[in-house]
């Protein structure tokens, strides 16, 4: 029997919205996704568990229906849908469209009416029906063939409401449910019931008289206060019954038979939507549970991978490599591929013509070890890896340094899709090659005791095949040069930096930890003294009770669990009230974060007394490098306490000093170059304080007449413009009204017309091309510039403003890193690069090399780009990172 699954879109999405914390689900662009995530998760589970042959989803159009025309208080008790929810409904429809699931909505009617109509038609067509909804009105549709899947908790726990289940819960058969609801009322719909009449009384009357019609006919004979109450409110009951009756004869323009569901969906459409939503785990569940995908001859052919696995005798590895690796091959390392503790357990090599070699590192004889090492180090033998840097760490630890890496498919995909959250090889193989990384060969040619080894051969071949698909795409996007001349060479630089690490003064860290612990305890006690009792300062619930009940402070933004107590809200409350409890609470939070930072650093100091962070090239969509384990880009520097943490990073034994170098106002210099604004260029070339000169031009004063307040206003403008700063945001930042901030922005743009024209032009051009580009051609694709959703469109516009500037700054520091590393090698200096943090480089300088290193760094950073304004480089030296500040 065919099975039709009908879903009440708004009902399920709304439950998902409140079941999952909105603050925990958002894309990197700021789009909230908790409702989409919960809805999609439920959908995947129901599709898997119920195996429907047909699927449709019904949505409400608005609250104005024929029901509100009859009773204007219908659902009037419901609060306005949160903006965070409304922005997600179009996204849910995009997910459904990608899955090939038909959606319906009808002006003047509700989703329930659409479901009622489709249920009637489906039963007439001899289909089984499943209705997923949180609206109890749908219970009137339950029959032996129709079941309601009613969410009991969130959207994951569904109760099967069959005729027996309805009767057990409500004491009536499903067709009588609207009668009982009419008498008892529906609080959620703002339909008042008969006072004094509950479900049991209403059910008893229906059992006695048979139907609401019969009850009405004999209402004069119903005894007691309940009977009188029914007579007094009979008009309300009859109105309720007219309203809760579902319409079952709408013209929907489609029959149930046309709603067939197939897993032969367009995988590219699914990838596109799930990439934008950053739902990697849900996508994996979708394909894992349901399989599917476009089954064309081409995709079927690409899924058939015949591999001949070599089993060379001892001493024959070199001969196999000579015979099969003249052209590019895929390489995959199995082992520990992290910065610390790297090692190789096994290695796989795969060729495009179906040959493969698998090597157990522990069982290589000396001749084969030497042959493999020679081949890996041969730059003329092209190699393709996925996420190469970790594998290169492992190979280097084995004594096998690598040259000739012509492609890293993780970085290549990142250049094409910089907003994607992850670049897992299995996911990309499924996406681009339409094959799973499971069995390499159905003939059983590959047989390993350890499944990990089989996967290694698979992954080596997948990386090679993936590169064949990505290379023409990169060429089309004009990104091949960026890959070969910037990102791939940078892998070697980062590899060396991670291996070297940076020395740590552990005694200083221990002292800081003890100090921060004491300060944290003192701040907590002072907070308790301010309110006269102890509370859990980490509990939002207890903080809400203190702030809004005990202290009577103004309510903050409403959340599901009450009112927000996040940092911004508390800062705002303190600015309004200056209550000492808030002062001590904020101090407690600040010092707690500092202690957590110190603890994170303490845990990552290695046996060599150094921290070896890992740098990532594929995290930030703008091209900036990221740092993790630990995140050294997150060390606070705006406060004295934060800066003291940098004192723990010190010069290592055998070296003379640390040297730091960074660009001064790099983003504004790039803005001047790109906008070609004459006034802005002149401000940089004047040699005076940049922000002061800018303020003098805007306020039409002499630079000497610019005080700190005016300079601060223009400084906020200078940096804010590149981030799409609005008049509201500028006003908040400066503590002035939005109207005053708008006047300041207008005056700024009147002075710097080239900047205004550039910013508007960037967005317009990106809207036409679909992307922005940096000075080196790094693209960021922004399809939401064409979105009908205002919130998504405005977020994309802000990205279009800052991506070329931030991205160009990221490219320039990478160019500088390559130049500095090349210069150190060519000049045979033993000093070394340690860190890159935002626009700053940190080096460890050998004795007697300070002047040469400083000259080299200034030269290479200054020559990273040919701008219309000078690239100003500041340099400092000292025993610690803090001392070397400038």
Does residue 439 surpass a pLDDT of 60? no
Q: How many helices (H) and strands (E) does the chain have?
A: 37, 25
Kind and range of the H or E element at 571? helix 567-577
CA-to-CA distance for 814 and 793, rounded, in angstroms? 31
Structure token pair of residue 182: 């009419």
pLDDT digits (tens, 9 = 90+) for 39-59: 999 999 999 999 999 999 999
CA-to-CA distance for 706 and 713, rounded, in angstroms? 11
CATH number assigned to the domain covering 667-808: 1.10.150.20
Q: What are phi and psi of 326, to 5 degrees?
A: -65, -35
CA-to-CA distance for 633 and 630, rounded, in angstroms? 9
Non-local (6+) Cβ contacts of 506 within 8 A are 602, 605, 609, 648
Q: What is the mean pLDDT of the chain?
A: 89
Note the pTM of the prediction, 2 decimals: 0.77
Q: Which of 372, 366, 378, 377 is nearest to 348 (CA)?
A: 372
Q: Over the range 403-429, which residues count as b (16 or more CB within 10 Å of their CB) and which as e?
A: eebbbbbbbbbbbbbbbbbebbbbbbb
Section 125-133 average pLDDT: 96
Section 760-786 average pLDDT: 92
pLDDT band at 723 (very low <50, low <70, confident <90, very high): low
Dump the DSSP string for 733-761: HHTS-HHHHHHHHHHHHHH-HHHHHHHHH
**Structure letter (DSSP) for residue 549:** I
Does residue 294 surpass a pLDDT of 50? no
According to CATH, where is 1.10.150.20 located in the chain? 667-808
CATH number assigned to the domain covering 304-489: 3.30.420.10
- In the chain, pLDDT over 90 holds for what percent of residues? 58
- Sheet of 832-837: strand order equals 832-837, 840-845, 657-663, 873-878
Q: What are phi and psi of 440, to 5 degrees?
A: -65, -40
CA-to-CA distance for 59 and 19, rounded, in angstroms? 19
The pLDDT of residue 296: 38
Q: What is the CATH architecture assignment of 3-171+247-259?
A: 3-Layer(aba) Sandwich (3.40)
Does residue 77 surpass a pLDDT of 80? no
Does residue 837 surpass a pLDDT of 50? yes
pLDDT band at 438 (very low <50, low <70, confident <90, very high): low
pLDDT digits (tens, 9 = 90+) for 354-394: 999 999 999 999 999 999 999 999 999 999 999 999 999 99
Does residue 724 surpass a pLDDT of 80? no
Q: Higher confidence at residue 687 or residue 880?
A: 880
According to CATH, where is 1.20.1060.10 located in the chain? 507-595
- Sheet of 54-58: strand order equals 102-104, 54-58, 3-8, 128-132, 146-153, 157-161
Sign, CA dihedral 646-647-648-652, equals positive
CA-to-CA distance for 464 and 520, rounded, in angstroms? 54
Q: Over the range 129-165, which residues count as b (16 or more CB within 10 Å of their CB) and which as e?
A: bbbbbbbbbbbbbbeeebbbbbbeeebeebeebbbeb
A 10 A CB-CB count for 251 gives: 7
According to CATH, where is 3.30.420.10 located in the chain? 304-489
Q: Which of 848, 745, 760 is nearest to 797 (CA)?
A: 760
Sign, CA dihedral 165-169-171-177, equals negative
Q: Which of 329, 318, 410 is nearest to 364 (CA)?
A: 318
**Structure letter (DSSP) for residue 548:** I
The pLDDT of residue 453: 63
Q: Higher confidence at residue 276 or residue 137?
A: 137
With both helix axes pointing from N to C terminus, report the angle between 388-397 and 488-500 in degrees, rounded to the nearest 10. 50
The pLDDT of residue 560: 64
Distances 478 to 463, 773, 815 between C-alpha atoms, Å: 21, 11, 18
According to CATH, where is 3.40.50.1010 located in the chain? 3-171+247-259
**Structure letter (DSSP) for residue 866:** -
Section 618-623 average pLDDT: 92
Angle at 375 between CA 371 and CA 380, to 5 degrees: 150
- 3-state helix, strand and coil shares in percent for the chain, rounded to the nearest 5: 55, 15, 30
The pLDDT of residue 390: 96
User: Of 300-304, 695-699, 820-824, which range is least confident?
Assistant: 300-304
Q: Which of 746, 639, 735 is nearest to 698 (CA)?
A: 746
A 10 A CB-CB count for 747 gives: 16
CA-to-CA distance for 236 and 71, rounded, in angstroms? 10
CA-to-CA distance for 364 and 370, rounded, in angstroms? 9
Does residue 245 surpass a pLDDT of 50? yes
**Structure letter (DSSP) for residue 420:** -
The pLDDT of residue 300: 36
Angle at 242 between CA 237 and CA 246, to 5 degrees: 130
User: 557, exposed or middle or buried, with CB in 10 Å at 0-12, 13-18, 19+?
Assistant: exposed
Domain 507-595 fold is Taq DNA Polymerase; Chain T, domain 4 (1.20.1060)
User: Of 351-355, 365-369, 460-464, 720-724, which range is least confident?
Assistant: 720-724
Q: Which of 550, 549, 575 is nearest to 562 (CA)?
A: 549
A 10 A CB-CB count for 265 gives: 18
Section 830-850 average pLDDT: 97
Q: Over the range 803-827, which residues count as b (16 or more CB within 10 Å of their CB) and which as e?
A: bbbbbbbbbbbbbbbbbbbebbeee
Contact 179, 206 (CB under 8 A): yes
Distances 650 to 30, 196, 611, 635, 660 between C-alpha atoms, Å: 37, 78, 11, 15, 12
Contact 65, 105 (CB under 8 A): no
Tally of CA atoms within 13 A in the half-sphere of 713 that contains its CB? 22
């Amino acid at each position: 029997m065919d099975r039709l699954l009908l879903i009440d879109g708004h009902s399920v999405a709304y439950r998902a919205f409140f079941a999952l914390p909105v603050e925990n689900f958002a894309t990197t662009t700021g789009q909230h996704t908790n409702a989409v995530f919960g809805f999609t998760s439920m959908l995947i589970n129901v599709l898997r568990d119920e195996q429907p042959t047909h699927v449709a989803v019904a949505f409400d159009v608005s609250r104005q229906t024929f029901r509100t025309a009859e009773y204007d208080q219908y659902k009037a008790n419901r609060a306005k849908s949160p903006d965070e929810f409304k922005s997600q409904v179009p996204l849910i429809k995009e997910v459904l469209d990608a899955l090939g699931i038909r959606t319906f909505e009808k002006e003047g009617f509700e989703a329930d009416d659409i479901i009622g109509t489709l249920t009637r038609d489906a039963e007439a067509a001899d289909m089984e029906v499943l209705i997923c909804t949180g609206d109890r009105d749908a219970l009137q549709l339950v029959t032996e063939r129709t079941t309601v899947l009613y969410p009991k908790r969130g959207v994951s726990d569904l109760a099967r409401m069959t005729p027996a289940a309805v009767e057990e819960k409500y004491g009536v058969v499903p067709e009588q449910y609207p009668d009982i609801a009419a008498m008892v009322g529906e609080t959620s719909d703002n339909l008042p019931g008969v006072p004094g009449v509950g479900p049991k009384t209403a059910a008893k009357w229906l059992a006695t008289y048979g139907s609401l019609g019969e009850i009405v006919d004999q209402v004069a004979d119903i005894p007691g206060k309940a009977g009188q109450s029914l007579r007094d409110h009979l008009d309300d009951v009859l109105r309720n019954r007219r309203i809760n009756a579902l319409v079952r004869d709408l013209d929907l323009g489609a029959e149930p038979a046309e709603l067939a569901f197939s897993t032969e969906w367009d995988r590219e459409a699914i990838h596109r939507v799930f990439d934008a939503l950053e739902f990697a785990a849900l996508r994996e569940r979708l394909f894992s549970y349901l399989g599917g995908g476009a089954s064309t001859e081409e995709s079927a052919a690409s899924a058939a991978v015949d591999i001949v696995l070599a089993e060379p005798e001892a001493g024959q590895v070199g001969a196999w490599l000579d015979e099969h690796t003249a052209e590019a091959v895929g390489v995959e390392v199995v082992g520990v591929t992290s910065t610390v503790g790297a090692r190789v357990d096994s290695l796989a090599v795969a060729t495009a013509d179906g040959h493969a070699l698998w090597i157990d590192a522990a069982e290589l004889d000396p001749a084969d070890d030497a042959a493999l090492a020679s081949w890996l180090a041969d730059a003329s033998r092209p190699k393709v890896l996925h996420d190469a840097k970790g594998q290169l760490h492992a190979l280097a630890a084995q004594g096998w340094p690598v040259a000739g890496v012509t492609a890293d498919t993780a970085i290549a995909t990142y250049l094409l899709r910089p907003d994607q959250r992850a670049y897992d090889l299995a996911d990309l193989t499924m996406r681009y090659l339409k094959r799973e990384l499971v069995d390499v060969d159905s003939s059983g040619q590959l047989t390993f005791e350890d499944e990990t080894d089989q996967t290694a051969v698979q992954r080596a071949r997948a990386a090679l095949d993936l590169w064949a698909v990505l290379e023409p795409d990169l060429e089309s996007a004009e990104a091949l040069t960026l890959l070969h001349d910037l990102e791939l060479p940078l892998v070697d630089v980062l590899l060396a930096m991670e291996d070297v690490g940076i020395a740590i003064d552990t005694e200083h860290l221990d002292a800081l930890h003890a100090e921060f612990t004491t300060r944290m305890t003192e701040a907590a006690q002072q907070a308790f003294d301010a309110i006269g009792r102890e509370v859990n300062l980490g509990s939002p619930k207890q903080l809400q009770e203190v702030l809004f009940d005990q202290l009577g402070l103004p309510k903050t933004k409403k959340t599901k669990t009450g009112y927000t107590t996040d940092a911004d809200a508390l800062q705002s409350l303190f600015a309004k009230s200056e209550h000492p409890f808030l002062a001590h609470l904020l101090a407690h939070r600040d010092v707690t974060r500092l202690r957590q930072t110190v603890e994170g650093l303490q845990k990552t100091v290695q046996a060599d007394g150094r921290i070896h962070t890992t740098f990532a090239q594929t995290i930030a969509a703008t091209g900036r490098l990221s740092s993790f384990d630990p995140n050294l880009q997150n060390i606070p520097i705006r406060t004295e306490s934060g800066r003291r943490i940098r004192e723990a990073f010190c010069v290592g034994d055998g070296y003379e000093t640390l040297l730091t170098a960074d660009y001064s106002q790099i983003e504004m210099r790039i803005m001047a170059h790109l906008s070609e604004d004459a006034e802005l260029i002149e401000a940089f070339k004047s040699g005076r304080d940049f922000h002061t000169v800018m303020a003098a031009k805007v306020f039409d004063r002499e630079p000497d007449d610019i005080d700190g307040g005016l300079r601060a206003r223009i400084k906020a403008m200078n940096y804010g413009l590149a981030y799409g700063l609005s008049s509201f945001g500028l006003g908040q930042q400066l503590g002035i009204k939005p109207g005053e901030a708008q006047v300041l922005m207008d005056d700024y743009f009147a002075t710097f017309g080239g900047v205004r024209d550039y910013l508007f032009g960037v967005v317009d051009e990106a809207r036409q091309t679909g992307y922005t580009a940096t000075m080196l051609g790094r693209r960021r694709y922004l399809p939401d510039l064409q979105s009908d959703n205002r919130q998504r469109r405005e977020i994309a516009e802000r990205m279009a403003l800052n991506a070329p500037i931030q991205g160009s700054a990221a490219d320039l520091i990478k160019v500088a890193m390559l130049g500095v590393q090349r210069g150190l090698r060519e000049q045979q200096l033993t000093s070394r690069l340690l860190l890159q943090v935002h626009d700053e480089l940190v080096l460890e300088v050998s004795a007697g090399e300070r002047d040469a290193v400083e000259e080299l760094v200034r030269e290479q950073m200054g020559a990273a780009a040919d701008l219309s304004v000078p690239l100003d480089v500041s340099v400092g030296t000292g025993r610690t990172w803090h001392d070397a500040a400038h």
